[in-house]
Every structure is written in structure tokens, then in C-alpha cells.
Amino acid sequence: MYIYGPVPSRRLGRSLGVSLIPPKTCSYNCIYCQLGRTTHPQIERMSFFPKEDIFQEILNSKYLESADVITFVGDGEPTLNKDLGWVINKCKEQLHLPIAVITNGSLLYLKEVREALTNADIVIPSMDAGNKKTFIRMNRPYPKLEFEKIIQGQIDFRNEYNGKFWLEVMLVNNVNDSKEELASIKEFVDKINPDRVYIMTPVRPPAESWVQSSNPENIIEAQKIIGKGIAVDGLEAGNFDVDDFKNVKDAILEIGSRHPLRIGQALTIEKKYLSTGVVKQMLENNELVEVTYNKEIFLLPAHFVSGG
């Protein structure tokens, strides 16, 4: 399956997700990633799947009428798929929903990537650091990526792009949330000049267990220093649509591989299938692993924790 959801998004509403990338294939290996560590690092753009199949699955989705937006994000960095622009353009030609792309922004220095995103309605790149040292610590980029080139790529795209440009800053406690770090981020935010800046902090179990959410005081400080800042530091509310899955187990594993589930969300999915005891059995069979983060209990597919 290339599409999933709609899932409740704190920024976009009911988001019909589209994944164009094989699991954990990315140009970064961010310490806070909710999908775990990157196992397939790369910066070469490829056609990972037949583009016609991806578009046809979007076109056939029963949730097009109930979704607020089609969001390209998925299991890795979406701009690694060189067919992204083609799929976006087909959606714009035949569908009425706005198109969003959530990207780490690492490949915007490439003209072909900027052109691929031209017809998207909303583009949300990330920028978690204002200096090379913190960038490497936070995002652990593919070795050939250059910090200065990435920043310039975002500036160039902003100057060329006519849609909504929202920047995302993820704050990690004692890594990039000091006043000095925030001031360095602001310097580049001002150069990029996005329409909005979302101040984020990890709310689901991160790739590295030592990563902690930034405290509320630092999030408020970030809003003051960076400007245009909108704090998004809570968990989303809403239900997941699961009608396309054959059974409870498939639904929980598929959704959980792209959007880690709180235990309450997993039990709600179980109830939708009029089933009982499935979540408990999956835990006993080590198909799911219980992880506590920020005092919330999450059920992660076992391969997340094993690193597979």
C-alpha cells in the first residue's frame, strides 16, 4: 500500500498520507525520528515504485471525499523519489484536494527537486539547526550533504515557490533549544522568510532513547526568538480510518509503521473490528513492543525497537 489514513494531523487536519519511499530510506538519520533509525541512507533520486500504480491507488481511495489534504511524506524522504513531481501534477489535474509535501529539505539545492514541488499547495521543510555542528548532531546527514548548500536550497526554493511555505523546527532538550542555538536558527529563518514556523518537540518514541522533549519554557522562548512561531507540542486528536485493512493486526502494524500508535489508539482500532484481545496477543507474541515516552504508552512494531 502506498497510501494510508486519513490520519489526524496537528497542522493539516485529516491527512491522506502517501508514501513514495521504501521504509527507513532517507538522506538524514535524525535522532528524534518517530520511524526509528535510517537503515537505507542515500541521496540518489530513484523511481522506487511504478508511478502509475501510486497515482491509481490515490485515485481509488474511498477517503478522498473525507480528507482535507493529500500529504506526501511516508516512510522516508519523499523527494528521493524522482517521480514525485509527476504524481503531484496528476493529482492536481484530476483531484480537488490540496497537496502538501513534508520534507527534510535536504535536496532543495537540486533544481529538479524544486521543480518537482512547484505545483504543491503546501511545502513543509525542516530546519533544526543554525550551525553545522548542531546540524550533524541532530540530523546525522548523508556524508555528502553540505549544510550551507541545504540552507541555500531552501532560500532558493522560497524565492521561486508561489504556494504556502511552512518551516518546521524540531527542538530537543539540551541539543538545539538554548538561547544561542535558537538565535542561530532565527538567522536562517529570517533569510528563508517562510509564511509560518512550527515549533515542534518529540511527542512519540524517538530513534534514540536518550532524546527528550524540550521543556515548555524553551518552547515559549523559541517562539519569541524565532518569530512567526506556532507551537505544536501536543499529541494529535482524532481517529484513524481502517476500512482498507483485512483485520486488526494488519491495521495496527501498517498504521503503526508510519504513525506510532498510543495504546488507546490501538485499542480503539481493535474495537472497530469488534475484536477483543488482539493487541494483548500481539504484545505476547512480540509483534508489538510497549514503549513509554513522555508518560504516554506507545505500541511500536517490534522491528522499530530491534532496528530491523
- Using the predicted structure, report yes or no on whether residue 239 has a pLDDT greater than 70: no
Asked whether residue 256 is domain-assigned, the answer is no
Asked whether residue 37 is domain-assigned, the answer is yes
Which range, 73-77, 112-116, 277-281, 285-289, has the best average confidence (pLDDT)? 112-116
Q: What are the beta bridge partners of residue 15? A: 7, 69
Question: Which of 114, 57, 63, 105 is CA-nearest to residue 84?
Answer: 114
Asked whether residue 245 is domain-assigned, the answer is no
Region for 140 from its dihedrals, namely left if φ exceeds 0, alpha if ψ lies in -120 to 50, beta otherwise: left
Asked whether residue 250 is domain-assigned, the answer is no
- Which of 232, 253, 288 is at the close of a domain? 232
**Mean pLDDT, residues 236-264:** 72
**Mean pLDDT, residues 137-146:** 97
Residues 175 and 293 in one domain: no
**Mean pLDDT, residues 109-128:** 97
Total structural domains in the chain? Answer: 2
Range of the domain at 276: 261-306
Confidence band (pLDDT; 50, 70, 90) for 91? very high
> What percent of the chain lies above the pLDDT cut of 70?
92
The pLDDT score that the predictor gives to residue 258 is: 67
Helix or strand or coil: residue 50? coil
The pLDDT score that the predictor gives to residue 308 is: 46
> What's the Cα-to-Cα distance from 130 to each of 27, 138, 189, rounded to whole Å?
18, 11, 9
- Integer-rounded Cα Rg, in Å, for the chain is 19
CA atoms of 305 and 262, how far apart (whole Å): 15
Asked whether residue 284 is domain-assigned, the answer is yes
Asked whether residue 247 is domain-assigned, the answer is no
Question: Which of 154, 132, 214, 222 is CA-nearest to residue 186?
Answer: 222
Residues 151 and 273 in one domain: no
Q: CATH number, domain at 177?
A: 3.20.20.70
The pLDDT score that the predictor gives to residue 305 is: 56
Q: Side chain identity at 172, as an amino acid letter?
A: V
Q: Side chain identity at 108, as an amino acid letter?
A: L
Which range, 9-13, 174-178, 196-200, 262-266, has the best average confidence (pLDDT)? 174-178
